[in-house]
């Protein structure tokens, strides 16, 4: 074992009271963060001594799975399997209350938990903290989770606070209002699938978005990935079809790295730029793929962007025109050389998973404008700080949202509750 890894192993054993454990497995892996930096982590799986020479792939009850940043020596997560722990002199919350948890977190992380975090969700033995900035929440959420058992022994800890060092004080005055952003709000009213036990219904709902306070448009509500992205909005056309000889290849999501690469801080491949030359090859390969799989769809697909994700290139396409209520959405997976290896048609996938009435049988009795008028009283606009990956900084925004939807057939308004849209 590398001496640097051995130091981290010893640190984990002492910190979490693992005298009655032995190190069963370990590996090094990496993640790319919002700001494009590569985080290198050591994962350790500690087995209780009562399970000597454990070889099964599934971890036994009481296993301690621990992730630590190899460069900062900060613990990212600690999980005791099935909430069982055999730790001695580990972390114990004698009073089992929020004050005790906050005091421990302040000492353990060095963060001002009382000032900068708000406890968003609690039950008898679980505390979930989200960071706020001057009382305003962040997106993506920067959070800390703590759980303990009936004896007050810590059984789960995780933190996602690595991007916070990029914050700088903002003095910009929040000036957004629902009346001022009505045009944007109207654009966010979209058709969506609403899953039900007996299939689905088609509804108008509001697609959440973040509206910049500085009048520079919108930021996406959900950042699907953190790798490099190149935008196109390019319509794909061809003159001749191509014989279908495409064969899917299995996708390998591999994030494990060597000790040498980890300590040399080799950049994550997802953070590398997509050159113009590589982009042109990807476009040609995607075009050839469409010529084989969708031969009659010339001019019907638009390449919205290319991105690097999980060591592959992803091409995101949407149907330019569609006869159905919902345009098709296609993801084409390419290897790092730009060769197509797999694909996923999201619309076809959901149509297979959901036994639902066909779209063509649905009579749309409510227009988008009518739906907007019905939903408008229920719009909310909440201040947020959103991390802009392009500028690598936090931007003051308002989160436009709505917890109601309109049925396209009946025109009835209902609440979303804990359900979700598929669009």
Work out the average pLDDT over 395-414: 90
Mean pLDDT across the stretch 183-191?
91
What residue has token string 């950049």?
Answer: 267
**Does 340 have pLDDT greater than 80?**
yes
Query: How confident is the model over 47-67, as pLDDT tens digits?
Result: 999 999 888 888 999 999 999
Q: What is the pLDDT of residue 357?
A: 47
Least confident of 40-44, 220-224, 259-263, 324-328: 220-224
- The average pLDDT across 267-284 equals 93
Average pLDDT, stretch 216-242?
Answer: 81
pLDDT at residue number 287: 96
Indicate the pTM of the whole model: 0.82
Q: Is the pLDDT of residue 27 over 80?
A: yes
41 CB-contact burial (10 Å; exposed 0-12 / middle 13-18 / buried 19+): buried
Average pLDDT value for residue range 223-232: 74
Average pLDDT across the chain, whole number? 87
Q: What is the pLDDT of residue 222?
A: 58
> What confidence score (pLDDT) does residue 409 get?
85
Choose among 335, 333, 354, 358: nearest CA to 344: 333
| Residue 174: predicted pLDDT | 87
- Write out pLDDT tens, residues 149-170: 999 999 999 998 755 545 555 6
Quote the pLDDT of residue 414: 87
For residue 302, count other CB atoms closer than 10 A to its CB: 17
Question: What is the phi/psi pair of residue 75, to 5°?
Answer: -80, 125
Per the model's pLDDT, the better-predicted residue between 343 and 348 turns out to be 343
* Chain segment 357-371, per-residue pLDDT in tens: 455 556 778 899 999
Which range of 6-20, 124-138, 188-202 scores highest in mean pLDDT? It is 6-20
Mean pLDDT of 250-272: 91
If you write DSSP's letter for every residue of 115-135 in order, what string do you get?
Answer: HHEEEEEEETTEEEEEEEETT
Q: pLDDT tens digits, residue range 87-112?
A: 998 999 999 899 999 999 999 998 88
Tokens of 337: 């050389």
* Tokens encoding 250: 């299995």
DSSP annotation of 100: H
Percent of the chain residues past pLDDT 70, beyond the cut = 87
Judge whether residue 389 has pLDDT over 60. yes
Tokens of 344: 């996923």
pLDDT at 356: 47
Q: How many CB atoms neighbour CB 217 within 10 A?
A: 10
Give the DSSP letter of residue 377: G
The β-bridge relationship of strands 126-133 and 143-148 is antiparallel
- Whether the pLDDT of residue 333 is over 90: the answer is yes
Report which listed range, 186-200, 318-332, 379-393, is most confident: 379-393
pLDDT band at 40 (very low <50, low <70, confident <90, very high): very high
């Amino acid at each position: 074992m590398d001496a640097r890894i051995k130091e981290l192993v010893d640190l984990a054993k002492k910190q979490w009271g693992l005298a009655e454990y032995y190190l069963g497995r370990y590996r090094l892996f990496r993640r790319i963060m919002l700001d494009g930096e590569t985080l290198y982590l050591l994962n350790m799986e500690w087995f209780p001594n009562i399970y000597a020479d454990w070889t099964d792939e599934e971890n036994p009850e009481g296993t301690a799975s621990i992730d630590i940043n190899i460069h900062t020596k900060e613990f990212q997560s600690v999980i005791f399997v099935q909430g069982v722990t055999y730790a001695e002199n580990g972390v114990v919350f004698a009073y089992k209350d929020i004050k005790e948890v906050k005091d421990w977190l302040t000492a353990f992380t060095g963060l001002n938990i009382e000032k900068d975090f708000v406890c968003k969700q609690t039950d008898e033995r679980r505390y979930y903290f989200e960071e706020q900035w001057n009382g305003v929440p962040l997106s993506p959420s920067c959070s800390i989770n703590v759980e303990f058992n009936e004896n007050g022994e810590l059984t789960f800890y995780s933190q996602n606070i690595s991007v916070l060092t990029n914050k700088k004080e903002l003095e910009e005055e929040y000036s957004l209002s629902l009346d001022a952003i009505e045009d944007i709000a109207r654009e966010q009213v979209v058709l969506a699938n609403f899953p039900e036990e007996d299939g689905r219904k088609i509804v108008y709902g509001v697609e959440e978005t973040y509206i910049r306070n500085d009048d520079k448009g919108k930021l996406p509500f959900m950042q699907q990935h953190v790798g490099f992205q190149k935008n196109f909005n390019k319509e794909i056309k061809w003159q001749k079809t191509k014989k279908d000889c495409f064969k899917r290849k299995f996708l390998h999501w591999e994030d494990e790295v060597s000790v040498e690469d980890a300590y040399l801080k080799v950049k994550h491949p997802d953070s590398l730029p997509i050159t113009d030359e590589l982009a042109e090859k990807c476009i040609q390969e995607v075009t050839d793929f469409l010529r084989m799989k969708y031969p009659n769809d010339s001019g019907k697909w638009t390449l919205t962007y290319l991105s690097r994700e999980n060591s592959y290139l992803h091409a995101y396409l949407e149907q330019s025109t569609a006869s159905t209520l919902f345009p098709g959405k296609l993801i084409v997976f390419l290897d790092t050389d730009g060769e197509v290896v797999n694909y996923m048609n999201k619309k076809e996938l959901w149509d297979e998973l959901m036994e639902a009435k066909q779209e063509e049988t649905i009579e749309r009795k409510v227009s988008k404008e009518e739906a907007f008028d019905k939903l408008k009283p229920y719009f909310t606009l909440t201040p947020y700080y959103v991390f802009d990956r392009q500028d690598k900084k936090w931007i003051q925004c308002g989160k436009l949202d709505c917890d109601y939807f309109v049925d396209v057939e009946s025109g009835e308004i209902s609440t979303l509750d804990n359900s979700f849209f598929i669009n």
